[in-house]
Structure 1
Amino acid sequence: MFDFYGTVVDMQGSLTRAVAPYLERKGYTKNPPGRLVTWWRRTHFENSMIDALLHRDHTPYRQIGFEAVDYTLERAGIEHTDDEVRELVDEITRLDPFPDVVQALTEMKEHGLKLYILSNGDPDMLAAGVPYSGTADLWDRVMSVAEADSFKPHRTTYHTAAALVGLGCHDILFVANHAFDCIGAKAAGLRSAFVDRRKRPFGNGRYSADVTVSDMAELAALLKTTVEI
């Protein structure tokens, strides 16, 4: 079971490439595009975590994205319209996969593994973004946390996903590039694999990942030799 944004698809790189021409049209040169994307993503992350902690009515990912982009542009002093914000948020449906992903997932599929997505994205965003990534045919099921009414890492999301695919939590290896997602999955009773693309410390000894790999290719190679982690 895989996280999608940032694990399967390169969110930082793809959004940076999308934002660059927009900032050029605005004549904005104070900060590089990648820095604004980092502000955007951090704000989005913080707001989604607040939403999960409140655990009230689930706020759609797209709405949180709108608020995050609007805040980021205002922080940068860039005049903008609501339509421009919506267009930038929609770039999340057009993210490129990491170079190693398609081949690695194909090898996992050929090894006989069931492959699932559990993403914080809205269902309609995943319906567009998964085919764009070139991985649509590889998944046995694509799940949005909207089905659990809470963003990851709330334990309800992982328990709901396990129930939807008819597996016990202990039968699932959850794969993510984000430590918080691995921690959430592990605390919910799943096993976890940390894809350490950014070469950063995991930072949590209580819910440590069961395996750490540098990329999906390394994970696929590991799973070729054993399904037990």
Structure 2
Amino acid sequence: MAGTNELKGNIQALVFDQYGTIVDMQAGLTAAVTDFLKKKGWDDEPHRFVTWWRRTHFENSMIDSLSDGPHTPYREIGQQAVSYVMDRCGFSYSDDEVRWLVSEIERLKPFPEVIAALERLAGTYKLAILSNGDVDMLKAAKPHIGFPFDHVISVQAAGYFKPHRATYKKAAEIIGLPPDNILFVANHAFDCIGAKSCGIPTAFIDRRKRPFGHTPYQPDIIVKDFKELADVLC
């Protein structure tokens, strides 16, 4: 791993994943669907439904990128994933319910320590988001996050979902810096691996205290949350 002081000397911008890194996707969606699931007769923990939904969404987005065809919007893949999971559960549902469930992604709130840490980091670095979300979804999410990033970048600009290399390269191009002057920050190992494979240093937010995995693309920094990230970098 690169020395922290050397890394700090090179970094001019931080690029963050949004879903699960900036905003608490699991808790937020679980809270949103709890009453809905009760009415549908779901007799298991609500978070299990959300995990199933998110895993299906992720799998389908990877298929979309690997198929190398026209980019499918994140919202559309999300609606397909929710419909699939509800079909598997045997629920009856309407198109409006599917659209509502996916729209809850736009209203997710940041983890408690995120905004204060971003305010500290903004004094030293450019701050940007690189998200698998669509442009309109990221725009709708801005007031719920409540922080003025220098750039909010959708992977739609690259035509692939993360962790395709094209997404990180496009972000560096938009920000206007070479890869080694950027630090990519994510709560997901796959996202850090994708960025690191492009020559972008990475910071892994290890909220869940899980092993990163055996890969040559190890993160340069591992921290438990955004406060610790700001402590390391400021």
What TM-score range do you get, normalising by the shorter chain? over 0.9
Shift of 1:188: 1.1
1:11 maps to: 25
1:217 maps to: 227
Match of 1:66 among 38, 55, 79: 79
1:169 maps to: 179
* Greater relative contact order, per chain length (Cα 8 Å cut-off, separation 6+): 2
Residues 57-88 of structure 1, C-alpha deviations (whole Å, 9 max, x = no match): 00000000000000111111211111111110
* Equivalent position SS for 2:129: strand
2:138 maps to: 126
1:155 maps to: 165
Is 1:180 aligned to 2:190, yes or no?
Answer: yes
Match of 1:203 among 185, 209, 213: 213
In the alignment, the residues of structure 2 paired with residue 134 and residue 21 of structure 1 have an alpha-carbon distance, to the nearest angstrom, of: 27
1:18-37 aligned within 5 A: 18-29=32-43, 31-37=44-50
* Equivalent position SS for 2:122: helix
2:127 maps to: 115
Shift of 1:3: 0.2
Q: Which segments of 5 or more consecutive residues in structure 2 lack a partner in the other structure? A: 1-14
In the alignment, the residues of structure 2 paired with residue 113 and residue 160 of structure 1 have an alpha-carbon distance, to the nearest angstrom, of: 19
In the alignment, the residues of structure 2 paired with residue 189 and residue 67 of structure 1 have an alpha-carbon distance, to the nearest angstrom, of: 34
In the alignment, the residues of structure 1 paired with residue 202 and residue 214 of structure 2 have an alpha-carbon distance, to the nearest angstrom, of: 13
Shift of 1:145: 0.2
Match of 1:91 among 104, 116, 123: 104
1:51 maps to: 64
Shift of 1:103: 0.4
Q: Which segments of 5 or more consecutive residues in structure 1 lack a partner in the other structure? A: 225-229
* Equivalent position SS for 2:130: strand
Shift of 1:28: 2.3
Q: TM-score, normalised by structure 1?
A: 0.94
Shift of 1:24: 1.8
Q: Aligned residues: percent identity?
A: 58
Structure 1 residue runs of 4 or more that deviate by more than 4 Å after TM superposition: none
Shift of 1:205: 2.8
How many residues matched?
220
Shift of 1:134: 1.6
In the alignment, the residues of structure 2 paired with residue 191 and residue 218 of structure 1 have an alpha-carbon distance, to the nearest angstrom, of: 17
Q: TM-score, normalised by structure 2?
A: 0.92
